Amino acid sequence: MRPEVQVFVADGPLPDWDAEGEENDRRYDQITGITEPVTGEEAQALVACFGPDDCYGAAWALLHLIETGPNPVLTTEPAVFSGSAGLGGPGVAPGH
């Protein structure tokens, strides 16, 4: 795994909307500093870095970076998302 990916992953999940602007900017700069495409190993590690919201667009940049790697990154739905609002699970009508 490349050093810039290791550093990003080591910093943990993206912050939420309440984080300071400088932290959001720093994490976004880290994402955009990772050269595409990512490897399968890097993509799997990066998936764990999504935070509780879109972090002022940084989550979308992270998603697009992950999409440059081999697919599928995940073969099963992560437990953390199971049943989350708007993401399917119990009580959600099929197709909604």
Residue 29 resides in a domain: yes
Domain assignment of residue 47, given as a range: 3-81
Helix (H, G, I), strand (E, B) or coil at 79: helix
Q: Where are the alpha helices (DSSP H) in the chain?
A: 3-10, 21-32, 40-47, 58-66
Residue 90 resides in a domain: no
58 close to 14: Cβ distance less than 8 angstroms: yes
Residue 21 resides in a domain: yes
Mean pLDDT of 57-83: 81
Mean pLDDT of 18-44: 93
Which DSSP symbol is given to 15? Answer: P
Bigger pLDDT: 79 or 10? 10
Mean pLDDT of 2-14: 97
Residue 43 resides in a domain: yes
Residue 77 resides in a domain: yes
Smallest Cα–Cα separation from 34: which of 12, 72, 63, 70?
63
Q: How far apart are CA 82 and CA 87, in angstroms?
A: 8
Residue 91 resides in a domain: no
pLDDT of residue 81: 53
Domain count, the chain: 1
Q: 14-18, 20-24, 75-79: lowest mean pLDDT where?
A: 75-79
- Residue 83's CB is within 10 A of a number of other CB atoms, namely 13
Q: Is the pLDDT of residue 65 over 90?
A: yes
- Residue 30's CB is within 10 A of a number of other CB atoms, namely 20
